[in-house]
Chain A
Amino acid sequence: MRTLLLRSLFARPVTIGAPSPEDAALAEVGAALEAQARRLFGRSITIREVDAGSCNGCELEIHALSNAVYDVERFGIRFAASPRHADVLLVTGPVTKNMKVALERTYAATPNPKWVVAVGDCACGCGIFAESYATVGSVEAVLPVDLHIKGCPPRPIELLRGLLALLKSATSG
């Protein structure tokens, strides 16, 4: 065990370089932010993730953001356990009717200023579940959405691009 610990201590980081924030995402987010709110953020954002009925594929990739390769914390992006500590709600899945109320309450519990990011094709457009009696629709059908990150599921690198765009717009200006 000691060798493993020592090796872990002296090993070079396994993280990959930061991707450049996506232009389309930058434009979408930039328009959604007010200059007043930008100053409030400092250089970090705290995210509360809400699964509003996904297949869990999107969650798996959001999880990957915290692994040693993507390590989002190095950019000042943190995940919080409660919406009360969050600046950003990261919402996945087509919103199921059974989750609608919980999603609305989570949004209400998030302090202003706040942003909503829809992650995945389901959250962005309800995807393959649009026709169902049990879904409300995309996240936009329930909450105002500031940024869409498409993909089924989006790769972690794509998530990172979108979030960096959000961070950049939120903290510049």
Chain B
Amino acid sequence: MADDALTEILDLAKALDVLAPWPRFEVDSNAWTQIGHLLKAGDADMLALWCEPHAVHLALRAPASDACVVSLAISDGSFPSIGQFHPPAIRLERTIHDLYGIVAKGCPDRRPWLDHGAWELQAPLGTRPSAPVRDPADYAFLPVRGQGLHQVPVGPVHAGTIEPGHFRFTANGEMVARVEERLGYTHKGIDALMAGSDIDHAARIAARISGDSTVAYSFAFAHAVESALGVEAPARAQVLRGVMAELERIANHFGDIGAICNDAAFALAHAHCGIFRERVLAVCDRVFGHRLMMGCIVPGGVAADISAENAAEIVAVLDDLTPRFAEIVKLYDDTPSLQDRTCNTGIVGKELVRRWAAGGYVGRASGRDFDARRDIGYPPYAGMSVDAPVLERGDVDARVWVRIREAEASMKLLRGWLAAIPAGPLQTALPAVREPREGCAMIEAFRGDIWFWLRVADGRVERAHARDASVFQWPLLEAAIEDNIIADFPICNKSFNCSYAGHDL
């Protein structure tokens, strides 16, 4: 049914033969608005919404079908807002306005988002008129009225060693009535930096979008370039990419599970998980030459090979960690004081997660059964069974359990690949293509799916856009904390572990 509605709209639209592996359609503003209604009705997931000076693009996916991109040409500096129907689009439309000066007509929120008034430029990716510097403090937080309410501003510099962002708590005593996020502090203008740079340089930028997902971003970038140019990485490179991606996933899950326990004042689990993470990073350093494996995946293949001894070394680390991790899991399961903090804390409802198409453990802990590794099925995962556990409760505890099961599943995948890495070359040469070609990719990073789109021509990236899983998870954190106490914010926040750098780009 849902599919049909989208198919009907797209049948009337103009199919542009430029994008791979999914189609791109040019629609008129009528069809654009219809798609807004479709998203509102929950008939498709919005994957990304981004802009160029002369067109706005929206990536979407109806259940169990392929993704696609629809584009609307912009003539008078505006387009009909999707956010007026589908709230997940609102922050993206505010971003589009900040970067391009293009207005989403009808968008219920017109406040700036990434632009804090400090760039000395208005719409830096648009027509580039210079603008006076505004006072960053001059920002209208949403009004909250009621008796006994007080506000607590936190950040951008936080108490811990974490990324910068601002939270405005409105509380009644200890109880949080609302928290409003203000992000954009780590905005580095990645889309602008990528535009016009050669493919190698753009790959280096992609690897530095979000340090904890450097493998996933390099993977997504490489995949998008390869799709655009119609090449495939060699079999050996594909398996090595999988190995790196799963090592990144377990390292992050280990670290985060420990950190969540630490926020519940359970330092023992934190200490052990910290060692697990360290063991994984140390073996990555020995094998790939970089602890976070930054720059190890490149368009066309991989930049680092591994020997049979290296593979055995990684397996030895897994052999050592598997039973020790199982003990920590048991400890987590057997400690009521810990569960007292994690169960029923920071609940995100199923409906909200579905509407926002929230990926990763945030989605899967609230009943959204989506994992790009399985559902998009890119190599080396295509045809493999990927365990993607799904729970329904949506609290901190559920997010911990999803991560535990994911880490276990990753270790299984790793063992399988490391036992038989196909022989062969590490890279496929990229063909020289003069005319513009577009590619896109969706890769499951440890925190959820990443969307990457780009246009290449003549060995250069003309335009690129990445969307982190956090974009659709941050707003849900605001919902998760409502009716919890302020003191539980850190543990809720940690269980999400949204990326600031990946969001702010």
Contacts and interface: CB of A to CB of B under 8 A. Distances in A.
Interface string B86-122: 0000000000000000000000000000101011110
Interface string A121-144: 000000111011111000000000
A135 B120 CA distance: 11
B247 interface: no
A61 interface: yes
B214 interface: yes
A3 B161 CA distance: 33
B501 A55 contact: yes
B116 A14 contact: no
B161 A69 contact: no
Interface string A72-116: 000000010111000000000110111111100010000000000
B278 A56 contact: no
A64 interface: yes
A65 B118 CA distance: 33
B184 interface: yes
Interface in B259-302: 268, 271-272, 274-275, 277-278, 281, 285, 291-292, 294
A135 B187 CA distance: 8
Interface in B15-43: none
Given A55-B209, A64-B278, A134 B188 contact: yes
Contacts of B285: 155
Contacts of A49: 161
A53 B208 contact: no
B164 A1 contact: no
B211 A58 contact: yes
B157 A102 contact: yes
A104 B160 CA distance: 18
A102 B193 contact: no
B208 A99 contact: no
A56 B499 contact: yes
B327 interface: yes
Interface stretch (B330-338, B405-413, B454-462): B330-338
B136 interface: yes
A155 B124 contact: no
Contact of B186 (A1, A54, A60, A83): A54
A128 B210 CA distance: 13
B121 A56 contact: no
Contacts of A155: 285, 291
B219 to A, nearest CB: 16
B211 A98 contact: no
A97 B164 contact: no
Interface residues of B, number: 54
Interface string B463-505: 0000000000000000000000000000000000001110000
Chain B at the A interface: mostly helix, strand, loop or mixed? loop
B432 interface: no
Given A56-B211, A61-B291, A153-B292, A128 B205 contact: yes
Contacts of B164: 51-53, 99, 102
B204 interface: yes
A67 B292 contact: no
Given A68-B274, A134-B119, A93 B186 contact: yes
Nearest to B335: A1
B186 A96 contact: yes
B305 interface: no
Given A68-B274, A129-B193, A132-B188, A56 B210 contact: yes
A74 to B, nearest CB: 14
A96 B163 CA distance: 12
Interface of A: 1, 4-5, 8, 14, 49-64, 66-69, 79, 81-83, 93-94, 96-102, 106, 127-129, 131-135, 152-153, 155
Given A132-B189, A135-B188, A135-B189, 20 more contacts: A1-B334, A4-B331, A14-B275, A49-B161, A55-B209, A55-B210, A56-B211, A56-B501, A57-B208, A67-B275, A68-B271, A69-B274, A81-B160, A96-B186, A97-B120, A98-B184, A100-B118, A102-B185, A129-B189, A133-B124
Q: Which 8 A-B pairs have the closest CB atoms?
A: A57-B211, A67-B274, A81-B159, A97-B118, A56-B211, A134-B189, A132-B189, A49-B161
13 contacts: A56-B499, A57-B214, A64-B277, A66-B274, A67-B278, A68-B271, A96-B187, A98-B185, A101-B118, A133-B192, A135-B189, A152-B208, A153-B292
